[in-house]
Structure 1
Amino acid sequence: MLTIPKWKVYTIIFTCLISIYLSIPTLFPQIADSSLKSAFPANKVNLGLDLRGGASLLLEVDSKHYFSEQLENTVEQIKTKLRMEKIGFEKFDITEDYITIHLSSADSVYDTKTIIYNIFGNTAQIETNKNVLILSLAQIIKSGLKNNLMAQTQEIIRRRIDETGTKEVDLQMQGDNQILLQVPGLENPEQIKRLLGQTAKLSFHLVDDSVRLSDAANGKVPYGSKLLPLDTKERGNFGKSVLVVKSRAALSGDMLTDAQTTVNNGSAVVHFKLTSVGSKIFADLTSKNTGKLLAIVLDGKIISAPGIREPILGGSGTISGNFSIQSANELALLLRAGALPAPINIIEERTVGPSLGADSIEAGIKAVVAGVVLVMLLMFVFYGLFGMVANFALVFNLLMTIAALSLFNATLTLPGIAGMVLTLGMAVDANVLIFERVKEEVKKGKSPLSALESGYNLAFSTILDSNLTTILAAIILYIFGTGPVKGFAVTLTIGILCSMFTAVSLTKLIIAKWYRTKKPKLLML
């Protein structure tokens, strides 16, 4: 009776020891700057915005712009295929969800549908009316595009804001097309807003010198070319505000492998390196177009248009454009992080000062300490020695919760602290159920050993039911909640799972050891 297998004893002891080890970096953050740093894990619980202070930005991704761009790319793809097959068409109309193709002849409908199915597969939805085809993107395609858009945007934002991975940036999805960005410890968000204000789509286009700018300005732009504005800083170099460039990019920014700021003749420039494929394309481009201008376009503006003096075969080059050191550094960072697939709008901005964060930490610590002390005092008053065992388990419940949060590099907020305080109360609630059950068994005349065994066994189902219902409620909060509510739900769930271990397994091990050592004839409850 009241026996615990050796493997279970070792498991309980090991779990307690590993919890102490994992929680040390969080409880003693000064270890990170000491010689003991390598002896402990790097993972720890990070303080959230409301505890540490910092900047919070709610970002909205322009998904309509993204879908419009995808439709335009699709149109160009279809046009290219139609020309290859020598199928005539009059025009293409693009709306939010549809592409309308007006063919020159109704006889070409079947061949055009075949081309579209080859591009999109059987998911393409096509309606026909004489020589007109209406192509609509299936909902599954749009859903997949949107998921890719949000995932890619989130990753690029992270790389832009936290290239080194040391700023503890927190990114959370909010609804269908919004992202909550929180950067603890940041007091001035202006640099972040500049970094997010550009999509940073870089491309290289040959300048079309076959047309006069006056003609292009009047709408006489040759097919396959377009008019683009020059960046304000570059207009003085050319004496004009626009240039005509080839519509099709000769090289895109996604072929860059690195971008760094350097100084050339006293001016800041951005030195870039290309992938192996990009190097071959760039070498071929510069070899065949020596003497021509190459426009470097960033977000629809020409930031530089240098002349190609000789073939560039090394797979690298420089971007100059009257940059300051700061603007060159920012451009290099944007190019390294990659282009945003769609523009981002900042719809809400909030800054929390470090003094307010410090006040929140102090208030949170006071709440936890007060809760722990009061609970421990009541347990000791009502249950004596057994209450002290429950208090000992309560300490390990707190350590295990911190250790579990550390494993996930979780961010602790004020609602998270509230979840921890609630968990402490629920942890001793399990012990109260066990001890009260033991009391009832003693009153029935059972021996101390039998009363203890029955108390733990009979109370377990009640403890399990109550904790499962709480965990279910926490899961619902996590699914439907946002931000701080999710933090509360996660902390509460982890704390409850830890409390089931400490309140049942750990206290049972301690009481079983005490009983075998003391062999009391009466239980002081």
Structure 2
Amino acid sequence: MKKVGKPVFFIVALLIVFLTYTSFFGISTQYGDVTKTWIKGADTIRWGIDIRGGVDVTFTPPEGVDATEDELAAAQAVIETRLINQNIADYEVYKDTAKDRIIVRFPWKENETDFNPEEAIQELGETALLSFREGMETDENGLPAGITAENVILSGNMVESAQAVVDQQGLPLVSLKLTSEGAKAFDEATGRLSQESPKGRISIWMDELMISAPEVQAHITDGNAVISNIGDIEEAKDLANKINAGALPFKLETENYNSISPTLGMGARDAMVLAGVIAFILIAIFMILYYRLNGVVAVIALMGQVAGIIIGVTGYFPAIPSFTLTLPGLCGMILSIGMGVDANVITAERIKEEVRAGKTLDGAIDSGFERGFAAIFDSNITMIIVAVILMGSFGPTDSLFAKMLSPIFSMFGPATAGNIYSFGYTLLVGVILNFIMGVTATRLMLKSISKFKPFRKLWLYGGVDE
């Protein structure tokens, strides 16, 4: 930080301006009637059921098929996996074993204009494509790459059954029984991978989502295998359901469907967005008038924080699906921006105190950031803990945070509350960005601009020029 050069301010500021513009408006090109999206804008956000409404659909097996409870649970796991894979957090999935049906509610797609529920449910109605692949190589989007993309060992129809069991030591396992064709393929693959050092892995994929990657411990010749090193019996049941889903003897059919009206509507969203814009403008005016140059730098950093949060929910790049944003999610964004304002106020006050205490300008800036960081860190780390707990407790059971903290969150049981999960997600993204923009970017810009002679006047930092 001591060697920050003069150009750094302009580089950081221009980067923030670029991110701000592209996060809201995106970048796309058009050739004739074909539009190519390079960067997604705010108009691609997938809004939750509370804001935009969605689809209510009931799935059933084909006529004449009496699905077992395990098969329905497997089908439910398929649908949940697909929703999570699309970053759709605001959903509800129920199974009705008495009537052999699965009820699903989820929001409209971000680009939906016709609001046709029949088209919307096509992304959920197919039986999942299950595959066992060699290794666990992925590209930057989490898709199979290298040998993992090239070598499919088993497909879902080669799995006869998967069952969650407990061994003699009480450890959860998933027991696999393969068909004759699957047993032959597994014989060749495990015989080869078990001899590697370190031992090879066989990853299990549901559509384009890797759900497990067990290590090959032994050569399996009889078509009966077990997956070990699973957290608890609930995780074992969940994995078994997903594996069974790839071998379902039926395709899910749509019994009925209808549109869901939003509980709050786009008007509530627009009102909250307008309130946020007005609040940002008032805060910017206050920061600039009261903290002068510190305030100008803080406003630029706040713009970067807002842009970063928008990027976090739009997906930004076309290959990444947008995150489902609910009204509480907007509240999380606004709250995290408030934390960003607080961080900049703390730093500006500390710099002002150091300048008035007689320190040199460079010494005051360094000391101001160092003194203010402890308070900023304490408040922000507390908010991160709260956000992670909300996401782990009320988010999808397959979410990253639920898996990372499964020993803690297993007591809550499976639950999906899209509103709460959305709030936790935007709050977490915003607070992390506060460290990046409100601390790091602000310091870089302020140390850089303070090297220019016109900006070395102490009154610009709250002091009094001699």
Cα–Cα, structure 1 residues 403 and 27, in superposed 2: closer, same or farther, change >3 Å?
Answer: same
Instruction: Give yes or no for contact 1:174–1:180 (8 Å, CA) kept in 2.
Output: yes
Alignment-mate amino acid for residue 424 of structure 1: I
1:445 to 2:358 alignment: yes
Aligned to 1:352: 261
Sort the Cα spacing of 1:373 and 1:17 in 2 relative to 1 into closer, same or farther, 3 A: closer
Q: Which residue of 1 aligns with 2:349?
A: 436
- What's the counterpart of residue 28 of structure 1? 25
Which sits farther off after the overlay, 383-392 or 405-414?
A: 405-414
Q: Do the aligned residues in 1 keep the contact of 2:332 with 2:426 (CA within 8 Å)?
A: yes
What secondary structure, in the 3-state scheme, does the structure 2 residue paired with 1:516 have?
Answer: coil
Q: CA deviation at 1:393?
A: 1.4
| Aligned residue identity for 2:3 | T
The CA distance in 1 between the partners of 2:308 and 2:84, in whole Å, is 30
Matched, 1:182 2:103: no
1:39 deviation in Å? 6.7
1 or 2 for the larger relative contact order (CA 8 Å, sep ≥6)?
Answer: 2
Give the SS at the match of 2:450: helix
Residue 4 of structure 1: SS of its match in structure 2?
coil
Q: Matched residues in 2 for 1:157 and 1:442: separation? A: 54
**1:507 corresponds to which of 442, 445, 457:** 442
- Change over 3 Å in CA distance of 1:195–1:450 after alignment to 2: closer
Could you tell me how far apart the structure 1 residues matched to 2:95 and 2:280 are? Answer: 41
Query: Post-superposition shift, 1:447?
Result: 1.8
Q: TM-score, structure 1 length as denominator? A: 0.47
The match for 2:299 is 391
**Aligned positions of 1:402-413 closer than 5 A:** 402-407=310-315, 408=320, 409-413=322-326
What pairs with 1:418-429 in structure 2 (closer than 5 Å)? 418-429=331-342
Note if 1:40 corresponds to 2:42. Answer: no
Report if the CA contact (8 A) 2:88-2:324 is conserved.
no
Q: Structure 2: how far apart are the matches of 1:19 and 1:29?
A: 9
* Distance in 1 between residues matched to 2:83 and 2:313, nearest whole Å: 24
For these two proteins, the number of residue pairs brought into alignment is 305
1:160-218 deviation per Cα after TM superposition (whole angstroms, max 9, x unaligned): xxxxx9xx97774668997542224464647878999999xxxxxxxxxxxxxxxxxxx
1:411 and 1:517, CA in 2 relative to 1: closer, same or farther beyond 3 A?
Answer: same
Aligned-pair identity (%): 25
Aligned residue in 1 for 2:426: 491
Report the secondary structure of 2:376's partner residue.
helix
**1:66/1:342 contact within 8 Å kept:** no
Unaligned runs of 5+ in 1: 71-144, 160-164, 200-252, 256-276, 278-337
Alpha carbons of 1:37 and 1:423: their partners in 2 closer, same or farther (altered >3 Å)? Answer: farther
Instruction: Answer yes or no: is the 8 Å Cα contact 2:9–2:449 preserved in 1.
Output: no
Closer/same/farther in 2, CA of residues 382 and 176 from structure 1, 3 Å limit:
farther
Q: In structure 1, what is the Cα distance between the partners aligned to 2:77 and 2:14?
A: 39
TM-score, normalised to structure 2, is 0.52
Secondary structure at the residue paired with 1:367?
A: helix
Residues 196 and 344 of structure 1 are in contact (CA less than 8 Å); yes or no, is this contact kept in structure 2?
no
Q: CA deviation at 1:445?
A: 2.4
Question: Shift of the alpha carbon at 1:448?
Answer: 1.9
Kindly tell me: are residues 198 and 436 of structure 1, through their superposed partners in 2, closer, same or farther at Cα, counting changes over 3 Å? closer
**1:382 matched residue in structure 2:** 290
Shift of 1:149: 4.1
Residues 408-459 of structure 1 deviation map (CA, whole Å, 9 limit, x = unaligned)? 5222222222222222211111011111111222333222221111001121
Contact 1:423 1:495 in 2 (8 A): yes
Q: 3-state SS of the aligned residue for 1:40?
A: strand
State the partner residue of 1:258: none
Question: Unpaired runs of 5+ in structure 2?
Answer: 97-102, 128-155, 159-180, 182-247, 395-416
Contact kept? 1:16, 1:400, Cα under 8 Å: no
Q: Which secondary structure does the structure 1 equivalent of 2:39 belong to?
A: coil
The answer to whether structure 1 residue 464 and structure 2 residue 377 are counterparts is: yes
| 1:327-378: CA deviation from partner (whole Å, max 9, x where unpaired) | xxxxxxxxxxx876789998x9762269x74423421321221121121122
Larger-gyration structure (1/2)? 1
Counterpart pick for 2:77 among 151, 163, 184: 151
CA distance in 2, matches of 1:37, 1:487: 30
Is 2:452 the counterpart of 1:517? yes
Q: What's 1:19 paired with? A: 19
Amino acid paired to 2:356: K
Deviations 1:242-285 (A, max 9, x none): xxxxxxxxxxx979xxxxxxxxxxxxxxxxxxxxx9xxxxxxxx
